[in-house]
Amino acid sequence: MARKYCRPIATAHRYLAPLSRRCWSCDGPLWMAYHATRTVATLDGLCQFRLAVRRCVNRACALYHQPYRPEEEGSVALPKGEFGLDVIAAIAPCATPSTAACQRSTARCAREGWTSPSAR
């Protein structure tokens, strides 16, 4: 279902850059291509990420003009996801209720006042 109103303005901002400046295929330089922005909802609030994307400029390379995005982006959220992995982990259903992660998740849900759709 589409959102009926705009998202609030992000309260936190972070800048992420790729770790390497050399192409791992041809060892040539990776040039700065563009910046992408991405807003992710985390448990601490909305965070806007500014991502530096690089590209190999060697025409003979197999990775010529392929975007090279920051590695850390994958630890923040799923591709094209608007919720962070911490939110997904907090609300994920428990496979085995006796695990420590599930008990922490249940305690947090009770503390924050969250209920599952089946409990309503």
Beta strands in the chain (DSSP E): 12-16, 30-42, 45-56
Q: Give the up-direction half-sphere exposure of residue 85: CA atoms within 13 A in the CB hemisphere.
A: 8
Quick check: 20 binds Zn ion (CB under 5 A)? no
Collapse the DSSP code of 110 into the 3-class scheme (helix H, G, I; strand E, B; otherwise coil) and give the result. helix
- Per rule CB under 5 A, count of chain residues that contact Zn ion: 8
**Residue placing its CB nearer to Zn ion in the complex, 21 or 104:** 21
**Residue placing its CB nearer to Zn ion in the complex, 26 or 33:** 26
Closest CA to 14 of 53, 49, 38: 49
Assess contact for 10 and 46: CB atoms under 8 A.
yes
In whole angstroms, the minimum distance from the beta carbon of 56 to Zn ion comes to 3
Quick check: 61 binds Zn ion (CB under 5 A)? yes
Chain positions 40 to 59 lying near Zn ion, rule: CB under 5 A, are 56, 58
Quick check: 23 binds Zn ion (CB under 5 A)? yes
Quick check: 26 binds Zn ion (CB under 5 A)? yes
Closest CA to 26 of 71, 66, 63: 63
Which of 8, 11, 13, 25 touches Zn ion (CB under 5 A)?
A: 25
User: 119: which strand partners?
Assistant: none
Which positions touch Zn ion (CB under 5 A)? 23, 25-26, 28, 56, 58, 61, 63
